Amino acid sequence: MMNPSEDTQKEIKTEIEIHKEVSRHKNIASFYGAYQQRGSIMMPIMIEMEFCGGGTLFELINSPFCRGLPEHCIAYVCREVLKGLSRLQKKQIMHRDIKSHNIAITEDASIRLIDFGLARKIKRFWPCKELQGTPHYIAPEVWTCSSYDFKCDIWALGITAIEMAETSCPLLHLQGEAVGKEIVSGDPPTLSRPRRWSPAFNSFIDLCLTKDPKDRPMAKFLLQEHHFITELQDEMQVKAEMKDLIRRLNAAKHLASKTAEDIASAAVEEVPSDVVVSLDTKKEKTAENAEEAASEVHVDEPASEEVVEAISPQDVGSTDIMGKQDTICHIKIGEPEKDVEASTTPKEDPLQSSEKAPELSVSQDLSPQEEVGSTDTEEEQTTVCHIDMGDSEEAPHTSFQSSKEAPVLEENTGD
């Protein structure tokens, strides 16, 4: 197993400690524990936390039936997120990655902050200047690597509020450093159609997206003073609407999963039986070809006897122990049905029939210096035997053509 690096272990340990410290709050997902997963390379350490059955805010606002949340639902989500951020600020912790992906929803429409992988504690004599976060949600002071604090999370909440209204965050057409340049040098993002929304909502976004962090409010101020949050009425009705959206989202997820399973099952059932048999036959042929390649020559017994007789040492004409003889047999198989008939039920044994016995002649091109059957040469002699088993039902016809007759050497058995 690949163990995480020392820096990665330190980051994971920090995430676990922070999540454990702040988890006892209704707007932060409960932390249950952490353990190391044995035998895993990609995720060696697992964090166990509260299950949020409604998915994430990102999934909700990007579902096919959602064209942006109504304003009172946006106010409800912002209020619950601000409560979670207020809890973090009391613990001197900044989240640094507030976005729709990291805002979870339970089945009863409660809001939970999740993913504390980038969270850090603020130290009095050690200002934070790291460039961390998701580009489209990063505050200007973070892009410029200036000293920053909790207020970077307020900026990210303002971007998320626009995303809830319009289903996409501002500057989505830009990527990477281009986003940072626009955020630092351009005007603060706003709603694309501000008149469609109430003055209170527009004011809330303007405050959250104030470029100078000194003028940007804290979470506690927005919770207690801003009328977009404080004037939220009929919370039960808002939660009922959120629950309905969650129910439709989960139903769509279930339908998509069920449809995918049905399509896969139908695809398997619709495969014709002859196709399955054909595939099995191809597998068998592939296995047979592999066996032939491994053993160079693979024929049934009658064919083997013919090959042995055709390439006996007397026909090759060399008994030199120091020499090397490589015999290569190329067997051409015809149609599969005729192959089986020729190999398993030959009409007549070619070794016992004088009329259908194989005609034998040797084909070798020799240089003037070489002699067939020489016992002094150390060069290799290769005899090539071509056996063609075609459509004919007769015994295989083996043919050798030669410009010379190969002398037959008498076998020396020794004294």
**Six-digit token string for 146:** 């200036």
Helices (H) and strands (E) in the chain, counts: 14, 9
Outline where 233-272 has alpha helix (H).
Answer: 235-269
* Integer Cα distance of 292 and 401 in angstroms: 26
**Six-digit token string for 174:** 């830009």
Catalytic member of 7, 97, 149, 212: 97
Nearest to 168 by CA among 194, 192, 132, 196: 192
* Integer Cα distance of 235 and 72 in angstroms: 9
Residue 337: exposure state from Cβ atoms within 10 A (0-12, 13-18, ≥19): exposed
* Integer Cα distance of 168 and 282 in angstroms: 52
Side chain identity at residue 276, one-letter code: V
Q: How many residues does the chain have?
A: 415
**Six-digit token string for 252:** 């769509």
Cβ atoms of 164 and 77 closer than 8 Å: yes
Cβ atoms of 393 and 355 closer than 8 Å: no
* Integer Cα distance of 401 and 174 in angstroms: 77
Pairing of strands 111-113, 45-49: unpaired
Side chain identity at residue 247, one-letter code: R
CA distance to 124, 160, 312, per residue, from 298 (Å): 82, 71, 18
28 secondary structure, DSSP code: B
Catalytic: 97? yes
Active site residues: 97
